[in-house]
A and B are shown apart, each in its own frame.
Chain A
Amino acid sequence: MAAPGIPTADREKLLEFLLRLADDHLILGHRLSEWCGHAPMLEEDLAMPNMALDLIGQARALYAYAAEVEGEGRTEDDFAYLRREREYRNCLLAERPNGDFAHTMLRQLTFAAFMEPMWRAMTASSDATLAGIAAKAVKEVAYHIRHAGEWVVRLGDGTEESARRMKAAAEELAPYVGELFETDEVTEAMAAAGVAPDPASLRQEFDRTIGAVFVEAGLAIPAAPWAQSGGRHGRHGEAMGYLLADLQYMQRTYPGAVW
């Protein structure tokens, strides 16, 4: 069933690719869920868990498929809850702490602006399962762009205080943008097999989306002093361990617990 067009030798690369994508969505979804009960207003208290549900739902579908591709009897829960920090392949952007509301919204916009063209291209993936997951996700991520984009404009073009915070968020997140577009033997294999686009090819569209929002928000795009990297190879920031302690608590304490 898995991945027509992928020779068996590349199964490992497909698995790696699926875990990167799934981990991005699980970890960012977990971050958003941390806002539940703490958002600045009721509508946002509904919005953030809703977006978290989208992301975690997408992650579930990807983990379930990863388990099938791996074929060693692991389940989606094993991938989500029972790996060690160095085995997670998410981009560093996803694990960045929530910070203030401006920070969270810009992180969301950044990730969504990257994923929208990615999912769109993957709706035509040579891998039918991924094409099905993408067909749904591409519509969901459009909501995230719109929602987060509107907040970035409202805050960037808002009061002196909100503009200061949005500018600070832009500067702090800038080093984490480059990693999204990294190319290596995994992304090359996926592009060659028509499974997923080369991330580097999405950069122009990403810049257009972010540029349009920043112009309306009256924000300048900060030059990143350096590009932080390592998440795709399991090298994470300090915040990741704390996040996993929270995320994995239940399964580590009550192994095998189910609903």
Chain B
Amino acid sequence: MAGRPGGGAKGLDAAAKAWQAAASVLDPEVPCVTIADLGILRSVEIESGVAVAKVTPTYSGCPAVLAIELSVEAALRGAGFDARVERVISPAWTTDWITAEGREKLRAFGIAPPEKAANSVRALFGETIVHCPKCGSENTSRVSEFGSTACKALYRCNSCREPFDYFKCI
């Protein structure tokens, strides 16, 4: 079974320990959050003595995918496991999988977390209301749809004048 912390059986303890090791890996491009915060670490299971972590890519072209997979493998080995990482494509990751804690960490870091309900149909020229991560104002404007990494867009707060990154909603 997926090794979220907890449980009493010996196998489960190992799985929980492996989960903890893998879950501590930071996102290389947004290093204020772990891959567990982002919801891209799907499960860690012990299969015949090997810790198998399932990881899902965020964006199709995310150049960090390989780095993340290697870090997870290294973290598991560091915790004393033989390890394997598998890439899972379906079901596709959405920003709705970012945990509440992850969203809070993003905000504290100065990145506006994605607005919820990624699956709602977006009007062609519709604007999303993005809240400023510094002052909370709704009065923000988009500078560029595409930012410093594939997952971010560039915004500016019209109230406190801060420029900030918005974690794009997909």
Contact = CB atoms under 8 A, between A and B. Distances in A.
A57 B92 CA distance: 14
A131 interface: yes
A145 B121 CA distance: 13
Interface string A36-80: 000000010011001111111110110000000000000000000
Interface in A137-159: 137, 139-140, 142-143, 145-147, 149-150
Contacts of A60: 60-61
Given A146-B125, A209-B124, A140 B59 contact: yes
Contacts of B168: 143
A145 B62 CA distance: 20
Contacts of A57: 57, 59-62
Interface in B24-56: none
Given A132-B92, A139-B118, A146 B147 contact: no
Given A55-B61, A140-B59, A43 B154 contact: yes
A135 B60 contact: no
A128 interface: yes
B146 A131 contact: no
B145 A140 contact: no
A233 interface: no
B93 interface: yes
A52 B146 CA distance: 12
A128 B145 CA distance: 30
B144 A47 contact: yes
A145 B144 CA distance: 14
Nearest to A209: B124
Given A57-B61, A136-B60, 18 more contacts: A43-B143, A46-B146, A46-B148, A47-B145, A50-B146, A50-B147, A53-B60, A60-B61, A131-B90, A132-B92, A135-B90, A135-B92, A136-B170, A139-B94, A140-B59, A140-B170, A143-B145, A147-B145
14 contacts: A43-B146, A47-B145, A47-B146, A50-B61, A54-B59, A58-B61, A128-B90, A132-B91, A133-B89, A135-B91, A135-B92, A140-B60, A149-B125, A213-B124
